[in-house]
Chain A
Amino acid sequence: MAAVSLLSLRTKYRNMKDRKPGASEPPAAGPATDGEIIRACQAGDERAFATLVERYSGRAYWVAHGLLADQEEARDVVQEAFLRVYRALDRFDFDQSFYTWLYRIVVNLAIDRLRKLSRARSVSLDDVGEPASGTSAEVAPGRRMEASETGVEVRAVLARLPDKYRTVMVLRELNGLSCKEIAGIVRSSHATVRWRLHVARKYFKDEWERREQRREQRRGSGRANDGL
């Protein structure tokens, strides 16, 4: 019984934190709908495009940053994404929502960037165990978290996930998108997204626990050395 009440409390707590992002509840940054703004852009109204940028660049940045964990790379990706959007606005499909389209571009660009970066540098989970002085302060959105060792470790565990699992984790856990919204962004079925989310959470938990075990072992061996 105690277990059940705790479960419901935790559920309530999580539900309070869950947000409804994106198209189902478009940001109230202006009276015009996305469709109206896009039509204005197509007619040559540059100011209308600025409205779109102001409306969505923050969220797009958080998505990019969630995947890349790097402030500068995330800025570049968001810039590139909006440029691509601008170039392709005259072919915009009004049957789909703008933010799904934008997020898809951001996710694809971020994954491309990740692949290029991973070729250039390979990040080891053990390398980030000791937070470097420059690493903890580099990320603006997660500054409060990344000042801590735990934040760096969480980022490192996320970075260990394969791309498709990391994408759903970032979109769901960090950006609060629903499985249905994620399915639209990654162009998969709802069932596929749920399955990926299942695997990703399991992977994340297993990886985190392995890391905890290694830390415990290190502590144990440190105590043994101190005793000697």
Chain B
Amino acid sequence: MACDRQRKLIPLAAGHDLTAAEFREFDEHLRSCLSCYREYRDYQDVLALLDPLRAPESPAAPDGLVEEIMAEVRCGRAGAHAPHAGSLRARCARLFPGALPIAAALVLFCGAGLLYFASRGGNERLPRIPAGFGEPAIRVVHDAAPLSPADEFGGILVIPERMRPGKLHHLGPAPFFETESLPPARLRQVSDRDDF
């Protein structure tokens, strides 16, 4: 069991990546296990193949690399993005101090206004009629005269002046409702729709 456990540490031990505690335990085990010691030696031998490829203590850049990089930085792709020029946000902040909070407040105000407008039915969307309710179950009254119960459509939809998009206000074989509050243009627009 101990051998299995220590064997798993061999790849790390060969590269000196054990903690001090792990190394003490491993070292103790190697004293009594020739098999693990051979495995450890094999790992070290194989890893030693990489030694000639190791970077020197203070590797120098290849000839001309620093100059190439600096040339690129000066006039190449980096030109428009120089750090001292700053990001677009930083440059705007320098040119128009205090403009950023005002712009943000303006955007927030406009957004809130749009939301309010939409919530009040400002986009003029018509109420949606659920399918299969009746055939047809709804009709919009064109004038102020109430329909009789014998009306062939059997029901009236009264659309309030302020409609909420997607919301059905009154539906079905309902009692009559006056529609005087609806402007004629709105009435026409509603009644011309195919789904009415």
Chain A residues within CB distance 8 Å of chain B? 1, 3-4, 7, 10-11, 14-15, 17-19, 27, 41-46, 49-50, 53-54, 57-59, 61-62, 66, 71, 75, 78-79, 82-83, 86-91, 140-142, 144-145, 150-151, 154-155, 158, 169, 172-176, 179, 194, 197-198, 201-202, 204-205, 208-209
Docked-complex contact B83 and A57, CB < 8 angstroms: no
Docked-complex contact B17 and A179, CB < 8 angstroms: yes
**A83: chain B residues within 8 A (beta carbon):** 69, 72-73, 76-78
Docked-complex contact A61 and B46, CB < 8 angstroms: no
Contact A82 B16, CB 8 Å, known A62-B55, A145-B53, A176-B54: no
Contact of A154 among B30, B53, B81, B87 (CB under 8 A): B53
Docked-complex contact B66 and A175, CB < 8 angstroms: no
**A45: chain B residues within 8 A (beta carbon):** 84
Closest to B77 in A: A83
- The CA of A1 and the CA of B31, in the complex, are separated in Å by 7
Chain B interface category by residue count:
35 or more
Q: Please choose the segment from B56-64, B141-149, B175-183 that sits at the chain A interface, where 4 or more of its residues have CB less than 8 A away.
A: B56-64
**A15: chain B residues within 8 A (beta carbon):** 16
10 A–B contacts, CB within 8 A, in A order: A41-B83, A45-B84, A53-B69, A66-B55, A75-B65, A78-B65, A89-B83, A155-B53, A194-B12, A197-B17
Give B91 Cβ to nearest chain A Cβ, in Å: 11
B195 contacts the other chain (Cβ, under 8 Å)?
A: no
Contact of A57 among B43, B51, B61 (CB under 8 A): B61
Contact A4 B15, CB 8 Å, known A53-B69, A145-B52, A201-B47: no
Closest to A54 in B: B66
Docked-complex contact A50 and B70, CB < 8 angstroms: yes
Docked-complex contact B53 and A66, CB < 8 angstroms: yes
13 more CB-based (< 8 A) A-B contacts, given A87-B78, A154-B53, A201-B15: A7-B30, A18-B16, A19-B57, A58-B61, A61-B59, A62-B59, A75-B68, A83-B69, A83-B76, A175-B55, A197-B11, A198-B8, A205-B43
Closest to B33 in A: A3
- The CA of A83 and the CA of B72, in the complex, are separated in Å by 8
**A27: chain B residues within 8 A (beta carbon):** 58
**B167: chain A residues within 8 A (beta carbon):** none
**A204: chain B residues within 8 A (beta carbon):** 46-47
Docked-complex contact B14 and A3, CB < 8 angstroms: no
Contact of B69 among A3, A82, A198, A209 (CB under 8 A): A82
B124 contacts the other chain (Cβ, under 8 Å)?
A: no
- The CA of A75 and the CA of B51, in the complex, are separated in Å by 22
Give B84 Cβ to nearest chain A Cβ, in Å: 3
**A150: chain B residues within 8 A (beta carbon):** 49
Docked-complex contact B68 and A79, CB < 8 angstroms: yes
**B17: chain A residues within 8 A (beta carbon):** 172, 179, 194, 197
Give A166 Cβ to nearest chain B Cβ, in Å: 12
- The CA of A122 and the CA of B72, in the complex, are separated in Å by 32
**B82: chain A residues within 8 A (beta carbon):** 44, 86
Docked-complex contact B77 and A141, CB < 8 angstroms: no
Give A144 Cβ to nearest chain B Cβ, in Å: 6
Docked-complex contact A205 and B53, CB < 8 angstroms: no
- The CA of A205 and the CA of B50, in the complex, are separated in Å by 11
Contact of B61 among A49, A61, A71 (CB under 8 A): A61
Docked-complex contact B16 and A14, CB < 8 angstroms: yes
Docked-complex contact B12 and A79, CB < 8 angstroms: no
Contact A50 B55, CB 8 Å, known A7-B30, A154-B49, A174-B50: no
- The CA of A7 and the CA of B84, in the complex, are separated in Å by 55
Within 8 A of A (CB), among B92-129: none
